[in-house]
Amino acid sequence: MDTPLINPPVKEFEGTLSQKGLVTIPQAVRRHLKVKRKDKIIFRITEDAVEIRPRRLMSLEDIKGSIPALNSSKDWKQIRAEKHDDYAERYLQNLNA
């Protein structure tokens, strides 16, 4: 016999909208989201609710593999030498202009 899924208890907190349209996020919510002063917050509007979540900076691990590797048989020394030559050529062109 399957065990029915049990939803975790929902906690609700109330805030008051100021004249300037500001709401203080209750301390319990800030703790739960692990946010502190000056952190950025994302507001996501769905059909029947507004979700809030902290904006987290992406780490290198998060973006690893998001850009395909270059298909190059050159090593870094060759690439650096080519870029150095390109830079020198543009520099001389600007000198002569």
- Assess whether pLDDT exceeds 80 at residue 70: no
Instruction: Report the domain count for the chain.
Output: 1
**How many whole angstroms separate alpha carbon 7 and alpha carbon 10?**
8
Residue 13 backbone phi and psi in degrees, to 5:
-130, 150
**Is residue 39 a contact partner of residue 51, using CB atoms and an 8 Å limit?**
no
Q: What is the pLDDT of residues 75-89, one digit of tens each?
A: 888 888 888 888 888
| Residue 20 domain-assigned (yes or no) | no
Domain that holds residue 77: 71-96
pTM of the model: 0.50
- Assess whether pLDDT exceeds 80 at residue 56: yes
| Residue 54 domain-assigned (yes or no) | no
Give the pLDDT score at 6. Answer: 79
| Residue 58 domain-assigned (yes or no) | no
| Residue 13 domain-assigned (yes or no) | no
Give the pLDDT score at 4. Answer: 65
**Is residue 41 a contact partner of residue 35, using CB atoms and an 8 Å limit?**
yes
| Residue 56 domain-assigned (yes or no) | no
Q: What is the pLDDT of residues 10-49, one digit of tens each?
A: 889 999 999 999 999 999 999 999 999 999 999 999 999 9
| Residue 80 domain-assigned (yes or no) | yes
